[in-house]
Amino acid sequence: MERAGIKTVSREDALQRLLSDIKNLMEDLYQSGFDTVHDSTLKSFDAMAKQTAAYGMELLSALLTQLADGLKMRRHQIRAQGTQDGLAGVYTKLSLYIDLCEEKIELDKGIAYYGSGAQCQD
């Protein structure tokens, strides 16, 4: 969408882009493993937590912060924690939350499209 030479993005598209960025970070984390996380990945998780908080997505922000904090703590452990610290559970909740958000966005787009005055005729 473009208005007066300024390109604007719909709310749904902006959220989809944000969720896609978070999924890419999670994929990086999945590939590197919880014990060998890059500094740039941790910084990106912190930035995403701040951005999602600014968008009013407190649960998503809290999950991102919890995951980032747990990963930072793991870097300072002498012994591998395995699954004792619960990070796999946080990662899973985060993944599920993102999937549900993406599904909600698609449903909202459908409602906006089909509910915009176009009625089915029998």
Q: What is the pLDDT of residues 11-46, one digit of tens each?
A: 889 999 999 999 999 999 999 888 888 899 999 999
Q: What is residue 2's predicted lDDT score, i.e. its pLDDT?
A: 58
Classify residue 93: in a domain, yes or no. yes
pLDDT in tens, 53-69: 999 999 999 999 999 99
Interatomic CA distance for residues 115 and 71, integer angstroms: 44
Classify residue 4: in a domain, yes or no. no
Q: Which of 7-11, 95-99, 104-108 has the lowest mean pLDDT?
A: 7-11
Q: What is the count of structural domains for the chain?
A: 1
Residue 76 or 20, more confident: 20
Enclosing domain of residue 87: 10-27+38-114
Classify residue 79: in a domain, yes or no. yes
